[in-house]
Structure 1
Amino acid sequence: MRRTHYMTFRNFFNKPSFKPSTKPRPFKTYSFVPFSPLAMLDPTILTIGGIVLGTAIIERILERWGVIDLVDQFAKVMRFILPVTFYSALIYFFATFMF
Protein backbone atom coordinates (compact mmCIF):
# COMPACT_ATOMS: atom_id res chain seq x y z
CA MET A 1 0.00 0.00 0.00
CA ARG A 2 1.32 3.45 -0.86
CA ARG A 3 1.80 6.20 1.63
CA THR A 4 0.23 9.51 0.83
CA HIS A 5 2.64 12.43 0.69
CA TYR A 6 1.03 15.58 2.08
CA MET A 7 2.15 19.04 1.05
CA THR A 8 0.75 22.41 1.98
CA PHE A 9 -0.37 24.76 -0.73
CA ARG A 10 2.50 27.15 0.00
CA ASN A 11 5.12 24.38 -0.17
CA PHE A 12 3.63 23.06 -3.36
CA PHE A 13 4.34 26.30 -5.23
CA ASN A 14 7.59 27.32 -3.50
CA LYS A 15 9.50 24.07 -3.26
CA PRO A 16 9.51 21.42 -5.98
CA SER A 17 8.68 17.91 -4.92
CA PHE A 18 11.84 15.86 -4.49
CA LYS A 19 10.29 12.50 -5.35
CA PRO A 20 7.94 11.65 -8.20
CA SER A 21 4.37 10.90 -7.25
CA THR A 22 4.17 7.85 -9.52
CA LYS A 23 6.75 5.46 -10.81
CA PRO A 24 7.14 5.20 -14.57
CA ARG A 25 5.89 1.84 -15.72
CA PRO A 26 6.96 0.10 -18.90
CA PHE A 27 4.09 -0.40 -21.29
CA LYS A 28 3.59 -2.26 -24.53
CA THR A 29 2.43 -0.45 -27.60
CA TYR A 30 0.20 -2.00 -30.20
CA SER A 31 -0.38 -0.95 -33.76
CA PHE A 32 -3.96 -0.14 -34.67
CA VAL A 33 -3.19 -0.82 -38.35
CA PRO A 34 -2.13 -4.47 -38.60
CA PHE A 35 -2.89 -4.62 -42.32
CA SER A 36 -0.19 -5.82 -44.65
CA PRO A 37 -0.61 -5.75 -48.45
CA LEU A 38 1.06 -9.18 -48.60
CA ALA A 39 -1.98 -10.63 -46.81
CA MET A 40 -3.91 -10.26 -50.08
CA LEU A 41 -1.75 -13.03 -51.59
CA ASP A 42 -4.00 -15.65 -49.98
CA PRO A 43 -4.53 -18.50 -52.50
CA THR A 44 -8.30 -18.48 -52.02
CA ILE A 45 -8.55 -14.76 -52.71
CA LEU A 46 -6.29 -15.12 -55.75
CA THR A 47 -8.38 -18.02 -57.09
CA ILE A 48 -11.63 -16.11 -56.72
CA GLY A 49 -10.06 -13.06 -58.38
CA GLY A 50 -8.74 -15.22 -61.24
CA ILE A 51 -12.16 -16.74 -61.87
CA VAL A 52 -13.82 -13.31 -61.94
CA LEU A 53 -11.12 -11.93 -64.22
CA GLY A 54 -11.39 -14.98 -66.50
CA THR A 55 -15.16 -14.59 -66.90
CA ALA A 56 -14.73 -10.90 -67.70
CA ILE A 57 -12.16 -11.74 -70.40
CA ILE A 58 -14.44 -14.44 -71.84
CA GLU A 59 -17.28 -11.94 -71.94
CA ARG A 60 -15.13 -9.42 -73.87
CA ILE A 61 -13.99 -12.10 -76.33
CA LEU A 62 -17.59 -13.17 -76.97
CA GLU A 63 -18.55 -9.54 -77.48
CA ARG A 64 -15.80 -9.14 -80.10
CA TRP A 65 -16.94 -12.26 -81.89
CA GLY A 66 -20.42 -10.80 -82.14
CA VAL A 67 -22.28 -13.31 -79.99
CA ILE A 68 -24.40 -10.63 -78.35
CA ASP A 69 -27.09 -13.01 -77.04
CA LEU A 70 -24.55 -15.00 -75.06
CA VAL A 71 -22.92 -11.79 -73.81
CA ASP A 72 -26.30 -10.58 -72.53
CA GLN A 73 -26.78 -13.86 -70.67
CA PHE A 74 -23.28 -13.51 -69.17
CA ALA A 75 -24.07 -9.93 -68.14
CA LYS A 76 -27.31 -10.97 -66.41
CA VAL A 77 -25.55 -13.73 -64.49
CA MET A 78 -22.51 -11.60 -63.63
CA ARG A 79 -24.74 -8.80 -62.33
CA PHE A 80 -25.68 -11.16 -59.50
CA ILE A 81 -22.51 -13.26 -59.13
CA LEU A 82 -19.91 -10.48 -58.98
CA PRO A 83 -21.28 -8.65 -55.91
CA VAL A 84 -21.93 -11.94 -54.11
CA THR A 85 -18.39 -13.10 -54.90
CA PHE A 86 -16.86 -9.81 -53.83
CA TYR A 87 -18.63 -9.66 -50.48
CA SER A 88 -18.01 -13.36 -49.83
CA ALA A 89 -14.29 -12.90 -50.48
CA LEU A 90 -14.25 -9.81 -48.25
CA ILE A 91 -15.94 -11.66 -45.39
CA TYR A 92 -13.59 -14.63 -45.88
CA PHE A 93 -10.56 -12.33 -45.87
CA PHE A 94 -11.48 -10.63 -42.61
CA ALA A 95 -12.60 -13.90 -41.00
CA THR A 96 -9.28 -15.62 -41.68
CA PHE A 97 -6.97 -12.60 -41.28
CA MET A 98 -5.03 -12.76 -38.01
CA PHE A 99 -5.23 -9.42 -36.22
Structure 2
Amino acid sequence: MRKAQRFTFRNFFHRPSLTSSMKPRPVNVYSFVPFSPFAMLDPTILTIGGIVLAVVFIEWLLDRWSVMNLADQFEKVMRFILPVTFYGALFYFFATFMF
Protein backbone atom coordinates (compact mmCIF):
# COMPACT_ATOMS: atom_id res chain seq x y z
CA MET A 1 0.00 0.00 0.00
CA ARG A 2 1.31 3.47 -0.94
CA LYS A 3 1.84 6.12 1.61
CA ALA A 4 -0.29 9.17 0.81
CA GLN A 5 1.18 12.64 1.03
CA ARG A 6 -0.88 15.39 2.60
CA PHE A 7 -0.60 19.04 1.63
CA THR A 8 -2.43 22.06 2.87
CA PHE A 9 -3.78 24.38 0.24
CA ARG A 10 -1.26 27.10 1.11
CA ASN A 11 1.74 24.72 1.04
CA PHE A 12 0.59 23.20 -2.23
CA PHE A 13 0.77 26.52 -4.08
CA HIS A 14 3.70 28.17 -2.33
CA ARG A 15 6.21 25.38 -1.78
CA PRO A 16 7.28 22.78 -4.33
CA SER A 17 6.95 19.13 -3.48
CA LEU A 18 10.12 17.46 -2.24
CA THR A 19 9.47 14.16 -3.96
CA SER A 20 8.31 13.72 -7.51
CA SER A 21 5.19 11.66 -8.04
CA MET A 22 6.12 10.94 -11.68
CA LYS A 23 8.92 8.56 -12.60
CA PRO A 24 10.85 9.15 -15.83
CA ARG A 25 10.32 6.55 -18.51
CA PRO A 26 12.85 5.63 -21.18
CA VAL A 27 11.90 7.12 -24.52
CA ASN A 28 12.88 5.56 -27.83
CA VAL A 29 13.54 8.20 -30.47
CA TYR A 30 13.57 7.31 -34.15
CA SER A 31 14.69 9.43 -37.08
CA PHE A 32 12.25 9.50 -39.98
CA VAL A 33 14.86 10.76 -42.46
CA PRO A 34 18.16 8.90 -42.17
CA PHE A 35 20.54 11.00 -44.24
CA SER A 36 24.04 10.11 -45.24
CA PRO A 37 26.34 12.48 -47.15
CA PHE A 38 27.46 9.51 -49.26
CA ALA A 39 23.98 9.42 -50.81
CA MET A 40 25.02 12.41 -52.94
CA LEU A 41 27.59 10.17 -54.69
CA ASP A 42 24.86 8.73 -56.91
CA PRO A 43 26.27 8.42 -60.48
CA THR A 44 23.24 10.14 -62.01
CA ILE A 45 23.56 13.14 -59.69
CA LEU A 46 27.31 13.33 -60.37
CA THR A 47 26.73 13.16 -64.14
CA ILE A 48 24.14 15.95 -64.07
CA GLY A 49 26.43 18.05 -61.88
CA GLY A 50 29.36 17.46 -64.24
CA ILE A 51 27.28 18.51 -67.25
CA VAL A 52 26.17 21.68 -65.49
CA LEU A 53 29.75 22.52 -64.54
CA ALA A 54 30.90 21.89 -68.13
CA VAL A 55 28.22 24.22 -69.49
CA VAL A 56 29.23 26.95 -67.04
CA PHE A 57 32.89 26.47 -67.98
CA ILE A 58 32.09 26.72 -71.72
CA GLU A 59 30.14 29.93 -71.14
CA TRP A 60 33.06 31.34 -69.11
CA LEU A 61 35.47 30.44 -71.93
CA LEU A 62 33.27 32.09 -74.56
CA ASP A 63 33.12 35.22 -72.45
CA ARG A 64 36.89 35.13 -71.87
CA TRP A 65 37.58 34.76 -75.61
CA SER A 66 35.39 37.81 -76.31
CA VAL A 67 32.80 35.90 -78.33
CA MET A 68 30.08 37.98 -76.67
CA ASN A 69 27.29 37.26 -79.14
CA LEU A 70 27.61 33.49 -78.76
CA ALA A 71 28.10 33.76 -74.99
CA ASP A 72 24.97 35.91 -74.68
CA GLN A 73 22.86 33.41 -76.64
CA PHE A 74 24.32 30.60 -74.58
CA GLU A 75 23.40 32.48 -71.39
CA LYS A 76 19.80 32.98 -72.53
CA VAL A 77 19.39 29.26 -73.12
CA MET A 78 21.11 28.29 -69.88
CA ARG A 79 18.96 30.71 -67.87
CA PHE A 80 16.08 28.30 -68.51
CA ILE A 81 17.92 24.96 -68.65
CA LEU A 82 19.98 25.22 -65.44
CA PRO A 83 17.04 25.73 -63.00
CA VAL A 84 15.07 22.98 -64.73
CA THR A 85 18.08 20.67 -64.44
CA PHE A 86 18.58 21.56 -60.78
CA TYR A 87 14.97 20.93 -59.77
CA GLY A 88 14.86 17.78 -61.89
CA ALA A 89 17.97 16.43 -60.16
CA LEU A 90 16.56 17.38 -56.76
CA PHE A 91 13.30 15.57 -57.56
CA TYR A 92 15.23 12.54 -58.82
CA PHE A 93 17.38 12.49 -55.68
CA PHE A 94 14.40 12.46 -53.32
CA ALA A 95 12.40 10.06 -55.51
CA THR A 96 15.16 7.45 -55.52
CA PHE A 97 16.41 8.07 -51.96
CA MET A 98 16.04 4.88 -49.91
CA PHE A 99 14.42 5.52 -46.56
TM-score by length of 2: 0.72
The letter of the residue matching 2:94 is F
Alpha-carbon deviation of 1:28? 6.0
Alpha-carbon deviation of 1:44? 0.2
Match for residue 20 of structure 2?
none
Match for residue 63 of structure 1?
63
Which aligned pairs between 1:1-99 and structure 2 lie closer than 5 A?
A: 13=4, 29-99=29-99
**More deviation in 26-35 or 63-72?**
26-35
**More deviation in 87-96 or 30-39?**
30-39
In structure 1, runs of 5+ residues without a counterpart are: 1-6, 15-23
* Fraction of identical pairs, as percent: 71
TM-score by length of 1: 0.72
The 2-side partners of 1:12 and 1:72 are apart by: 85
Runs of 4+ in 1 over 2 A off after TM superposition: 26-30
The letter of the residue matching 2:69 is D
> What is the CA deviation profile of residues 14-46 of structure 1, one whole-angstrom value per residue up to 9, with x for unaligned ones?
5xxxxxxxxx8x986422341111000000000
Which structure has more relative contact order (CA 8 Å, sep 6+)? It is: 2
Provide the alpha-carbon RMSD of the alignment. Answer: 2.2
Q: How many positions carry a matched residue from both structures?
A: 80
Match for residue 3 of structure 1?
none
Alpha-carbon deviation of 1:12? 5.6
Alpha-carbon deviation of 1:13? 1.3
